[in-house]
Amino acid sequence: MEPNSEKKINSKFFRDAAWQQLSGNWSSAVIFTLVYFIIVVAASSIGECLGISSLIMIVIYPMAYSYSISFLENKRSGSNLKIENLFSEYKSKNFVRIILTVLLVIIYTLLWTLLFIIPGIIKSCAYSQTYYVLRDNPELQYNAAIERSMAMMEGHKMQYFLLQLSFIGWCLLTILTFGVLSFWVVPYMSCTMAHYYEYVKEEYEKKNAQ
């Protein structure tokens, strides 16, 4: 489902597009998410035991990147959500590029949040497309990738915030199911955000083509 002038572009539009993409593909999405969660929890536990939690979390960044990007790849080409894809960036030249760029995003967001919560939320929305920018623009890294995300999100930050907020009901249900529902909600959200990226990317390209 692609954005067009005949459809109302709102949160429901992107959620519906993601739901359609996941239809018939839920089992692989759930298994993909389950394995991802198990690895993250196990790695975090080991990090706490060894007193290197921060280092472990940094090492996990490329996996978080791969998790998100897999749903974008699935949307574009219909490629399967393969478990081995979670480890793909550990064997590529992107490893350091991803880690340092994500660290900058975290530092910038934290610094803005220290000024007050609202500036932190605004900047978080502005930086939200950084993973996807890294994927589609191999020549960009660090501040350049972050700045591209900020440029793409000009005029879209409130829209993105409302899209995130539209999942609050699902998040509450996840709590009520003691986290079990997260294996469905997280891929649903990730898929939705992949569709949203395609939309803001198209809008950005149209704007710069004028």
What whole-number distance in Å separates Cα of residue 61 and Cα of residue 148?
20
How much is the pTM? 0.89
Helix runs in the chain, H state only? 11-22, 26-50, 53-77, 94-115, 117-126, 130-136, 143-152, 157-165, 168-176, 182-209
pLDDT tens-digit series, residues 7-27: 567 899 999 999 999 998 899
Mean pLDDT of all residues in 64-82: 91
Kindly state the average pLDDT of the residues 56-74. Answer: 92
For residues 198 and 69, what is the distance between their CA atoms, to the nearest angstrom? Answer: 12
Cβ(17)–Cβ(196) below 8 Å: no
- pLDDT for residue 6 is more than 50: no
pLDDT of residue 42: 92
pLDDT, one tens digit per residue, over 82-100 is 999 999 888 878 888 999 9
pLDDT at residue number 68: 94
Torsion of CA 142, 102, 136, 82, to 10 degrees: 150
